[in-house]
Structure 1
Amino acid sequence: MNIPNILTIFRLLLIPAFVIVFKNSPSNNNLALSTIVFLIAGFTDFLDGYIARKYNLVTKIGIVLDPLADKLMLMTVLTCLVIKSYIPLWILIVIACKEIFMIFCGVFLYKKGTVIPSNKLGKLSTIFFYVSIVILVFNKTAGKFLLYFSVASALIALVNYTFVYKKGKKDDDKNIYLNNNREYL
């Protein structure tokens, strides 16, 4: 267990904390107060990634747990926002389908010994969601518009992950072919 993995586990623990603050705030500031919990989760996400890369503490479990924590936090936040009618249900449905698809693909690939780490588009999409949700606290119209943009960026990131996997698969097949046929080359 290293510091980045501990931060990721802490982020997982912030998920129920977000729900508690969102549902049980003593005033009408439930969105603002729970957004603080959400931002703390975002900071730990940045921090664990930074520490893992800077000090070469990247682990397989971290590569799996980190995006899982992100997905669970995002789905929790979107669900809460839908329940309180801050955002339309379709946003949750689209992102839930995308995330479930990515989780199943990730588990399938992990069992085959393949892990596709997050990339810049995926991270950028996550940042868009964080910014959108923070903006939603101050301006619901602008926040919703930015959430629409965030959904589009998440779908673009999904397509990009598919291309990354297919390119990696094609390169792997080529390497297997070359290794198996080296004696003929």
Structure 2
Amino acid sequence: MKFTKKEVFSIPNILSFVRILLIPVFMAFYLTAEIPLDYYIAAAVILISGLTDMADGLIARKFHMITELGKALDPIADKLTQAAIVFTLIFRFPAMVFLFILLAVKEIFMGVNGLILLKKGKKLDGAMWFGKLSTAVLYVVMFIFIAVPNMPSLVANILMIVTGFFLAMSFILYIPIFSDLHKRSKEETQSEKA
């Protein structure tokens, strides 16, 4: 698939590229942090990333700049950012590894199923409310972890459990949706052959 220069360099797509470029900036600040200000800068980088995420969607819809590249780039930037944040936090909060595994399993499941369905001419019609809620909880909690690196372990564990609950809920609720899409695709294929 070829993309025009106008598509590649549309404002929403540039903002998605910026979000991807902010990932190593965040990681560098967080992993080398020595004083509270370093953590605040890392948190600010994530805040800027979140604001650009909101802005690219708003601009794309309001100014009719929705492109096929943008439809792929936006979720890629989201998933890379989420994975990078959770992975980076493992270095300070080792139990975060369980959230990272859960996030990875969920996203691999969704990615693989999405690609299989795309080849069959089907696709998920945007994120569901529970997916958006799970993402919002993840970002809010991760932002707290970044901005408050010395939080008590009990608070940290509770926040990780809450985040894990919403991730797991989202994962479980997506399973029947993908199952239904696969079933409909199979039925359509069979009716075409009949």
Question: Do both share a fold (TM > 0.5)?
Answer: yes
- State yes or no: 1:107 paired with 2:115: yes
When the two structures are aligned, how many residues end up with a matched partner?
181
Structure 1 counterpart of 2:166: 153
Counterpart check, 1:70 vs 2:70 = no
Aligned to 1:60: 68
More deviation in 43-52 or 19-28? 19-28
Match of 2:142 among 116, 129, 133: 133
TM-score (norm 2): 0.77
Distance 2:89 2:97 in 1: 9
Question: Which amino acid is the alignment partner of residue 145 of structure 1?
Answer: I
Q: How far apart are 1:165 and its partner, in Å?
A: 2.5
Q: Which residue of 1 aligns with 2:18?
A: 10
Residue 177 of structure 1 and its aligned partner are, at CA, apart by 6.8
Question: What is the root-mean-square deviation in Å for CA atoms of aligned residues?
Answer: 2.7
Change (3 A) 1:59 1:168: farther
Q: Is the 8 A contact 1:19 1:80 kept in 2?
A: yes
- 1:113–1:60 distance in 2 versus 1, CA, 3 Å: farther
Q: In structure 2, what residue type is equivalent to 1:163?
A: P
Judging changes above 3 Å, is the alpha-carbon distance between structure 1 residues 31 and 66 closer, same or farther for their aligned structure 2 residues?
same
Gaps (5+ residues) in structure 1? none
In structure 2, stretches of 5+ residues that fail to align are: 1-6
> Structure with the greater relative contact order (CA < 8 A, sep ≥ 6): 1 or 2?
2
Q: 1:163 aligns with which of 152, 163, 176?
A: 176
Task: Report matched runs for 1:118-129 at 5 Å.
Answer: 118-129=127-138
Q: Post-superposition shift, 1:143? A: 4.9
Q: Match for residue 34 of structure 1?
A: 42
Q: Which residue of 1 aligns with 2:91?
A: 83
- When normalised by structure 1's length, the TM-score is 0.80
